[in-house]
Amino acid sequence: MSGGQSTWRLVVSGRVQGVGFRWFVRQAARELGLAGRVRNLPDGTVEVEAAGPDEALAALRERLREGPPGSRVADLREHELPGAPGWDRFEIDR
């Protein structure tokens, strides 16, 4: 079954700042061949915007639910974004 390409915004809450979460996300996204960005938000959540094959995005969502050692993911909110941004790699947006 061949999947399409999508762009998603995912917001992860819980103990996700100060535990290496952004670096974990960047590594996972790069391994999966996704483009996009990850950043801490002022409310203590982490925002991930990622674009790529649907199968890779599904795998990223699973990794986000687990998180790195020391993190605790309480919730993962997600919604699809329209269009295809011009990202060519996955980076941490500071």
Q: How far is CA 41 from CA 1, 10, 17, 22, in A?
A: 36, 12, 9, 11
Residues 6+ apart with CB under 8 A from 61: 10, 76, 78
Phi then psi for residue 39, to 5 deg, are: -155, 155
40 is catalytic: yes
Instruction: Please identify which residue in the block is written with the tokens 């974004």.
Output: 81
Q: Which of 9, 15, 39, 40 is catalytic?
A: 40
List residues with catalytic annotation.
22, 40
